[in-house]
Structure 1
Amino acid sequence: MYVHPDVEHAFNNLPREEFFLDQNSPQDYQSGLRYIDTLERRRIAALAKPLWETLPHVLDTKAIWQLSCSNEDDRHPEMAYRFQTFNRNQLLIAQPDDVSIILQKSLRAKVDTHSQVYKAVMTVRKSAPRNVCVKIFQQSLCKLPDPEYFDEDAAWPALWRSARQDAAVEAWAYRKLVSLQGAWIPHSLGFYKIRMPGGEVAVAHVLEYLDGMVMSNLTGDIVAQRLGPNYGIFDMATVLEERLYHMQSLGVMHGDLLPRNLMLLRQSPNQDPWSALLILDFDCARATECYDSNCDIVHPLMLLQHLGASADVIERWFRQHASSNPPPKWIPLFGNEKYDDAHFRFWRSNAHRDEHRRGLREKKDVKRVADM
């Protein structure tokens, strides 16, 4: 079976990578069909009594992989960091019996998604209980694979990724971005192999719990209000571009930087308002060294559009940065071998098309109301 190149890169650069290996991964078409049948039966069992309806629930932990955790030595001297829920040494020496994780509240629980997310309470040995976020990669609740994924004779074999492979990619990204944990991204508290109530073994990523709202649930006015009188959404987009450039210099592109994966904390941890801006979910991350172009760079423009800014206003903001002397370090990421602003041109074309379609829909809605 073909392996996605991002997954292969993650496994080649992870210590103790066997933690994330799929022992029963199908190797041919017939075993793939049997695998899908097994997943369907496991899904029926999982949904007969859904975990999110039986809370609180104590996780049955079987193994721990703590090599994604950060410590104070990893910190950048010019960055501000949030309180670390558990220190790295505490986690590194912990055995499964030392850790208690009790799921308390469902934050995202649905079928055919990458993962299930819960708010939980965690203790390590005799430590005080701490709120954490638990992201469960459970294969039977992910989107079921198509049989052609396992057909090596297909004209264009699809590259399927399992739940554990997604977890491995996220583990790789958190190790690469260890200096950003607690500043721009959540603290990782390790990956845990857990047995689900129906017997299925899944992988859970335990993270720092953050009290905030994702951008997909916010409007431009709400974001501006939360940033305060001195900053606006274009300042936020500039900061986000700078962070994406820094992440790329560390070797990581996010790969799925939609508004749902950007969060504003309800309160800034310190006087810097940008300490409230966080990037979440790295299970689609990519290695900078493996790609010629940056897949993240236009997403701050898409965020501005989501928050209500027009394509023309966004273009003025971009051109102002591009024409400055010197331009910001992130501006060249928009270019390719043909145009200095190739990725911006592509975004602008799509943005104007979307605005045109939205305008047509609004006219139809107005006419429909007038005809009632």
Structure 2
Amino acid sequence: MHNGGVAYANTETNIVIDRSGMTNNSATNGGVSYIESNGNIVINRSEITSNKATENGGVSYIESNGNIVINQSEITSNKATENGGVSYIMSSGDIVIDQSDMTSNGANLGGVVYAENSGNIAIIGSHMVQNSAQSGGVVYSGNCGNITITNSSMVNNTAKRGGVAYIHEIGNIVIDRSNMTSNTANSRGGVAYIQQNGSIVIDQSNMTSNTAEQNGGVAYANTETNIVIDRSGMTNNSATNGGVSYIESNGNIVINRSEITSNKATENGGVSYIESNGNIVINQSEITSNKATENGGVSYIMSSGDIVIDQSDMTSNGANRGGVSYIDTNGDIVIDRSYMIGNNATNRGGVSYIDTNGDIVIDRSYMIGNNATNRGGVACSNSDGDIVINRSNMTNNTAGNVRAKCVFPC
């Protein structure tokens, strides 16, 4: 087999498929259509089913300098043995999917779409269901490209890394006004994964029941990447560490005006986890019933970062240590103008715990009915740190060991 199972163009040519059916076509690259350079592929109001590439681009392939646009189409069960189950661009081209349904497509990288270099991927008003890949169950960007998902739903997509979206380096993933439900990563990033140098932004969206077997039930970043959750809902997501979000190093996690409920980590950070060199900031949010089996029912930092909670309500969160927040070493926890109600630690620090070298500061806040089975019903600083409480109210907080009841160092 060669390239372009139905249509092949060398250069300066466009391929348009309109109101047509493409079924069981195959090629080495581009199971349906292939362009070498300087041309666009447009698929409009068509049904594209069970096409295959033994290498790349189960449906469409462009080598360089062209765009792929899919509009109002049904794209089902297309496969590529290597990359791009539906669409593949090697370099310098964008992929746009608008008002289309993509179901049960698959590849090694990019179950639906793959862009290797300097290309942007936009998904608008579309539904992606049960697509799969090793990296990027729906979309994969190699480097220097952005992935934008707007007004769309992603359901039951799977990958080892990035159940929905994956960027290898230098790019941003933006999820806007969309719903992500029951997507899975067998390793990291149940929805989104960036290896390095970018940002993951989730705005006005709902993330529900997404999972990562390792880290980052919704979002994972390895290094030099920030994760921002704004005006969104995070519910029933889970991972080993970071039930919602995880950063390995050198990045910040910001949660703003969001509702975060019933997320879980089987180890640390029921909602957010940073391994080193980053801050976690939670602002004007409702954080309820999140759990970590080990430490940090909501937020966990291993080393060298601060946790700031401002104008937020934290209710019924829990962990072994730090029912809400935990820092292992070299960081401060600041709680300002917030309510902490009914949070629990089965060991120490019903609300906050720092193990080494950090201060806990509580200002203009209410601590009500929090509990630690061992020490520090509200706050516990294990060593080399201060606990400062200013202009705040402490009511009905309890600890099993009175030496550290409520607020004193343990």
| TM-score bracket for this pair, using the shorter chain length | under 0.3
The alignment's TM-score, normalised by the length of structure 2, stands at 0.24
Q: TM-score under structure 1 normalisation?
A: 0.26
> Which one has the largest radius of gyration?
2
Name the structure with the higher helix share: 1
